[in-house]
Each structure stands twice: as C-alpha cells, then as structure tokens.
Amino acid sequence: MHVWQVPITVHFDHGTSKPELMEALELGFDSVMVDGSHLSYKDNILYTKYISSLAHSKGLLVEAELGRLSGTEDDLTVEDYEAKLTDVNQAQEFIDGTGIDALAVCIGNVHGKYPPSGPNLRLDLLKDLHTLCSKNGVIVVLHGASGLSKELVKVNSVFWLGCIERGVRKFNVNTEVRKAYMESLSSPKKDLVHVMASAKEAMKAVVAEKMHLFGSAGKAW
C-alpha cells in the first residue's frame, strides 16, 4: 500500500498588530504576513523589520505588503480612496530595510469581489516589480486573486502574458473558497454532519481547481 505524504504550509495572513504576530510566532506557523499597509511608509518598514527579524530567528518565512488593496476581507473594509498601488521606486528600499522573503503587491487587485466591469490590473507594473523582486530573491504575491480569469492568471498567447509569466508565485483566493462554502450551506441536508461534509467538499473542489490553474498540483514528492 502506498502512503502519500503531501507537505503542508500553515501561513498566518494579514498580521496587522505586533501582539497577534508575536502570538503567531509562538504557535508554530511556517510563515507570517506582516501587514503594515495601514501605516505610513516609514512605519511600515520599521514594523515589518521588527517582526521579520524575530520570525527569521525562528526559521519562518515573512511576507509583507507595500501599497494598499481596496475591498473587504475578514470584516475589514478599505475604501477605494485609501487604496494605493505599489511604488516601484520604494520597493527596493522596502526590501532592503525589512529583509522580507515575499512581497504582496498592489497592482489594481482588490480583496473580495471585483466590480461588474471586472479586474483592471496594471500588468506593466507587475512586470517591473517582478524584475526587481527576482534580483533580490523575493517572491511576488498577489492578494485578491478570486475572480481573475484564466487568461489573466496564465499565458494566453505569445502576445499576452498572464500573472504567472509576470512573476506571481503565490495567489490568495479566499473569497472564492468562502463563497463555495456558503453556497453549499444553502442546499438542504438531512443532518449537521452532512452539511459540514458537503461544505468542506465544496471548498476542496475550489482549492483543487486553483491548484491546477496555478500549476502547483502534482508537485509533492
């Protein structure tokens, strides 16, 4: 009998305060996101650097955000006027000053649902950020990937390169996974056990689909 072992990474997302990140460092997460996007640029660097140093001493990977996404996630809403694209000119200083392993970029992506007109991503900005990050050994992360078309995610033709070809190596699709869970709950079931099982299967289906889309399926030893 074959026993398949798939490595799993547990990531702490959007750590907006020192106390919760300090707790996450003690709980055994594999990586943390230091979210100082609500702070000024200089304070974001100081906040991220502080947590990054502690996390690295424990062998954890560190993700941070430069710029700020609009939209809603976990009951926190950032209005459009508060959103800010990632500044390429600041990115090098930010990476040098924090020592991060991954950079969550803001290129027009949003948390939650996109408007009826669809996403309007600055792929030219993504290309420039990827060039900079790759020189520094930093992974490019795209939050707000729920609702992105396959054409935006992957290469569509020799004339059109998607986000993967432009350097994104981690996508966040929280909204689509939660949507599948909630839609499953609206279908009548006989018992709570069946409700929970069905909801989990709905989430697993979305995750499996995204893993194949992002090219991460079948990579375990």
Q: Hey, what amino acid is at 83? A: A
Choosing from 13, 35, 80, 87, the catalytic residue is 13
Q: Cβ(94)–Cβ(37) under 8 Å?
A: no
- DSSP symbols for 158-184: TTB--TTTTTEEEE--HHHHHHHHHHH
210 and 170 Cβ atoms separated by less than 8 Å? no
Q: Supply the DSSP string of 23-52, one letter for each residue.
A: HHHHHT-SEEEE--TTS-HHHHHHHHHHHH
Instruction: Answer for the pair 166, 156: CB distance below 8 angstroms, yes or no.
Output: no
In sign, the C-alpha dihedral spanning 186, 188, 209, 140 is positive
Q: Is 74 a catalytic residue?
A: no
Tokens 């996450």 found at: 24
* Residues tagged active-site: 13
